[in-house]
Chain A
Amino acid sequence: EPEVTQTPSHQVTQMGQEVILRCVPISNHLYFYWYRQILGQKVEFLVSFYNNEISEKSEIFDDQFSVERPDGSNFTLKIRSTKLEDSAMYFCASRYTSDTQYFGPGTRLTVL
């Protein structure tokens, strides 16, 4: 069964550094998402992306964040200058046309 994949599984970075989290959504899916989950808390929406542009974003998704679909298969989340509070699990999700979003295994980001 096709699935969403994410790399790396764990990223450790110094505060102020830029990080890029990578996702390969399910191949025929059209809508792409990033969510985050701070340890022990619920999953929170960051951004949705369709037709090569952001369709919706949350208040968490400020100017430090950006997303890109650089080619036909990858979907990336960039954090320009990481802060301690950016430490979390970041999940990529995708869907085709139904409302059902399928999630990847996540990237654990640790900011030191």
Chain B
Amino acid sequence: GQQLNQSPQSMFIQEGEDVSMNCTSSSIFNTWLWYKQDPGEGPVLLIALYKAGELTSNGRLTAQFGITRKDSFLNISASIPSDVGIYFCAGLKSYNTDKLIFGTGTRLQVFP
């Protein structure tokens, strides 16, 4: 099946540090979404990207839609303890599908 690979798989950082994670695929995607999931809860949308090259910010979060349309990255600046969770990228392969394909996730731990 279609695979979206996220790296790193997990990160352990100190409060205040910046974080960068990415998502890659062998196939082209038309839409990229970044979600955060807290334990026992549903994914919460952070950022949506619709065009190749698009760079979008949401507070301390910045995400980019790769030029090749096969990747995306998410940066978090000045991390805080509540940033802890699992970050998933998700993509839509074409404009004719609603099937969101999720990445493998990056688990973030922030130490005070």
Q: Which residues of A contact B (CB under 8 A)?
A: 4, 31, 33, 35, 42-45, 48, 50, 55-56, 58, 91, 93, 98-106, 108
Contact = CB atoms under 8 A, between A and B. Distances in A.
B98 A48 contact: yes
A69 B101 CA distance: 24
Contacts of B90: 43
B63 interface: no
Nearest to A44: B102
B100 A45 contact: yes
Contact of B31 (A45, A99, A104): A99
Interface of B: 31, 33, 35, 40-45, 48, 50, 88, 90, 92, 97-105
A59 to B, nearest CB: 8
B42 A106 contact: yes
Contacts of B99: 45, 48, 56, 58
Contacts of A44: 102
